[in-house]
Amino acid sequence: MESPGKIPDGREGAADTGMIAAESEIESVYDTVAPIAPCYRRGAVLQAVSTSGGVKEPIVRDAFQAHELGLELLKQTGAIDKAVAEVIRATGKALGVPVASLKLIKGPVRSRFAPGLILDFPSHEFKLGSLFVRERTCVTVCYNQAASKIWIRFVGRNGGGEAISEMQLVSYFRFCEQAARNGIEAVRAIYFDKFKAQLGRKSVAFEELGEIDFIGLDTECLHFDDLLYSDSVGIVADASQISPERRSIFASFFRDRLGSFFPGRFKDSDINGISEHKVSAFRSEFAYRALYHGVFRDDSVTFLVLSEPGNPVPNPYYERESGALTVISELAARAMTKF
């Protein structure tokens, strides 16, 4: 533990001189974090059930059926592109945030088994106010009794890569949440139509088991000590192993702003529960280190992430502009293993 000093919001504590770039100035927590490359990812977990006879039973399908359904979804790439693009435009209009230069980044749908069939559809790029934003939609076609998932994610940046203002960030996250919700519903309708057609029966439904979303930001203020420079991947430290200053910055940032990012969504108890004593550290397979915390509710969970800034990585799936989005992709894969 370092010698006593003053942390940026003026409270006394043990100073970590490597963490804060300008120790001589008393900065606000927002100025300390100076967020760049904000990202948002939302997913719906859908269980297919038979509704015949008034009794709901999970529908069991094999990997061959999942593959056949995946091929049918590939034929719907144009419809999915159109539906998501319409949602992006409509959301911007509804919120009064200008959406400009919307275009599809043409390319093949990427597919892989992990273990369900995962389809990554081509990205959209657009300007949201003054921010450059990229969107991608993903569908997981699961088999046996596993649930299907539909994901939509956004990552944004300023043109010069500079920090994003608080006003920009509020508009960005409000847009992302609404666009992701509506986009998932649009893709769900296309997916369900093909799912039902494959089964050849009317008595089928998708039950939503829950929702999961991730709110992530890159920041230059997290300079981790040797403890987190290990080769381990995943959760590499709990709160007791992370300096109080880092934990305090993380908790204060999200406690003070989560309500403005997502008005009316979180209860006071959810926000007050963002405690510096519940923060953990995560290391991605591409060596990004991040702090994160989960806000758990009855039918949903939200993960909050502050990460080291993004750098080029060998896999474009992870959107190299954002370290947080890379971490979020791996957190999502771990969180979904039980579905």
Q: Which amino acid makes up residue 289? A: R
Say yes or no to pLDDT of 289 above 90.
no
Residues 6+ positions from 204 with CB-CB distance below 8 Å: 48, 49, 50, 51, 59, 195, 196
pTM for the model: 0.86
Q: In the structure, what pLDDT confidence band is assigned to residue 172 with cuts at 50, 70 and 90?
A: very high
What is the reported pLDDT for 246? Answer: 86
- In this prediction, residues 290-311 reach a mean pLDDT of 88
Planar angle of CA 242, 164, 15, nearest 5 degrees: 30
Q: Is the Cβ–Cβ distance between 197 and 303 less than 8 Å?
A: no
Say yes or no to pLDDT of 30 above 70.
yes
What is the reported pLDDT for 17? Answer: 36
- In this prediction, residues 294-301 reach a mean pLDDT of 87
Nearest-angstrom CA–CA distance, 194 and 206: 12
For the chain, state the CA radius of gyration.
21
Nearest-angstrom CA–CA distance, 321 and 153: 13
Short-list 283, 302, 300, 280, CA closest to 292: 280
DSSP character string of 265-328: TS-HHHHHT--GGG-EEEE-TT--EEEEEEEE-SSEEEEEEEEPPP---S-GGG-TT-HHHHHH
Short-list 273, 269, 79, 43, CA closest to 177: 43
